[in-house]
Amino acid sequence: MQRRWQQALSNKRVAIIGLGRVAQLLEDDHLREKPCTHMGAYLNRPDVDVVAGVDIDEERLKAFGLKYGVSGLYSDYRKMLDDVRPDIVSITAYATERFEMLMASIEAGVKGIWCEKAFATSLDEADRIVEAAASANIPIIVSHMRRWDASYREVKAIIDSGELGPLKSISVFWSGSLLHTGTHAFDMLRFFAGDALWVEGETERNPTDDHLWALKEDAGGRATIGFEGGVYAQIEASTKKYFLFEFDLFFESGRLRIGNNEPLKKYKTGPSDLYESIIDLREVQTPVFDRGNIWIEALANLLEAMEGGENKNPPADGRAALEMALAVHKSSESGGARVTLPLKDRELTVRSR
C-alpha cells in the first residue's frame, strides 16, 4: 500500500482541453488501431493520471467524466488551470483557440504540452508561442504524428543512406485543407527534403462543405515547392468524398510510396520485361518491422523531453510546417507568384479547424 501511494504521488497529472474526436472520441472507432487519441495514449501509461477535462459542450463533458472516471470537469480552461495546476496539458480544441490556450498553459507553469495541429493560425502567433515556451523551458510537442511512425522513419533512413540515389522530387496528395490536414504533409516534406526555399501555388476556388474535410476559409490547393539541394515537391489537396493521404518519392534510381492506406512500397531499377535496352522500376521487398503505435510513441517523447531528452517535433518544426501552408495562401493572393521563404507576412491568418 505504501509503495502504491508513493507511485500515485509521483504520477504526472494531465488535463485535456477540448474533448472531441482526437482527444478521446475516436477510441470508439472499432476499426482503428488503439490507442488512437490523446486519452487512449494516457491510459496506456501507468505514470500519468488524467485528472481534468475541459469542454464547452456540457453533455460531452459529463459523458467523458463518467466514461473515464475523471472528476475535474470544467467549461473554462483558465479556471481549470488555476484550480488543478496540471503537469501536462493536451490542447485539442480548434486551431483558432489554441494560441490563447497555449499561452495560458505556459503562464500557468505546466511542465509539458501536447498540442494538436495546426498549432497556430499565423506566424505571429507561432513565433510568440515558440518564444514563450523557450523562455519558460516548457517542451511542446506538435501532433504531426508521422514523426513517430516507424515506416516514415524508414523512408528517411533510405533517403539518408543513398540506396536509391539522390532524392529528386516528391508528389503528395490528400483530402482536405492546407492547414488542418496539410501541415501533416508539409511537416513530412521538411523531414524528407529539408527546408523549403520557395512556394508557388493557388488555393482551391470553390471548396464544398458537405463532408468531414471541408473548410471554406482553410481551403485546399495546389502548389510547387522548392527545397534545398534542388529537390522539389508537387502537392494537391482538395475537398473529396473519400479519404486520401499519400506520398510518392522519386529518386535517381528508385521510388518509394507511402500513405495512410498504403504500406511502404519500394521500387528499384532493373531491365524492362517489355522493351529492349530500357530500364524500368520493379517493386522489391521492404523490411518487415514493428511500426509501433504513434500515440504511445508521441507521449513517450513528450515525457522524455520533459526530462531533458530530444523533442522530435518541437514548436519550431510546427511553425515551419505552418509557414509553408500560409505561403501557398500568400502565393495564391498574388496570382500564383513565387513566394520566397522565410515568409515576411507574419500577420497573414488562416482560421483553421
Q: Is the pLDDT of residue 206 over 90?
A: no
In this predicted structure, what is the pLDDT of residue 120? 95
Q: Which of 175-179, 230-234, 320-324 has the lowest mean pLDDT?
A: 175-179
Residues sharing a CB contact under 8 Å with residue 135, sequence separation 6 or more, in sequence order:
none
* pTM, two decimal places: 0.92
Closest CA to 303 of 75, 49, 113: 113
* CATH code linked to domain 2-144: 3.40.50.720
If you compute the radius of gyration of the chain from its CA atoms, what whole number of angstroms results? Answer: 21
Average pLDDT over residues 234-242: 91
Binned at pLDDT 50, 70 and 90, residue 287 comes out as confident
pLDDT at position 207 is 55
**Confidence check: pLDDT of 213 > 50:** no
Q: What is the pLDDT of residue 114?
A: 98
Find cell 530530444 and name the residue. Answer: 310
Cβ atoms within 10 A of the Cβ of 151, count? Answer: 16
Task: Please say if the pLDDT value at position 330 is more than 70.
Answer: yes
CA distance 93 to 156: 31
Q: Residue 340: what are its φ and ψ, rounded to 5°?
A: -85, 150
pLDDT digits (tens, 9 = 90+) for 331-348: 999 999 999 999 999 999
CA distance 335 to 73: 48
Max distance between CA atoms of the chain, in angstroms, equals 77
Cα–Cα distances in Å, from 251 out to 89, 94, 248, 296, 311?
41, 38, 10, 32, 29
pLDDT value for 216: 63
Closest CA to 126 of 329, 313, 302, 316: 316
Q: Spell out the domain ranges in the chain.
A: 2-144, 147-284
Q: What's the rounded Cα separation, in Å, for the pair 116 and 251?
A: 32
CATH number for region 147-284: 3.30.360.10
State yes or no: cis peptide before 120, omega within 30 of 0: no
Average pLDDT for residues 50-56, to the nearest whole number?
A: 98
pLDDT bin (cut points 50, 70, 90) of residue 261 is confident
In terms of DSSP H, where are the helices of 108-213? 123-136, 150-161, 182-193
Q: Mean of the pLDDT values across residues 57-62? A: 97
Q: Which helix (H) or strand (E) holds 320?
A: helix 315-333
- % the chain with pLDDT above 70: 94
Among 62-71, 92-101, 260-269, where is mean pLDDT lowest?
260-269
The pLDDT assigned to 229 comes to: 92
> Would you say residue 212 has pLDDT above 50?
no
Task: Output the average pLDDT for the chain.
Answer: 93
Q: In this model, does residue 187 exceed pLDDT 60?
A: yes
Confidence band, pLDDT 50/70/90 cuts, at residue 152:
very high
Percentage of the residues of the chain whose pLDDT score is greater than 90: 86
Whether residue 3 is predicted with pLDDT greater than 70 in this model: the reply is no
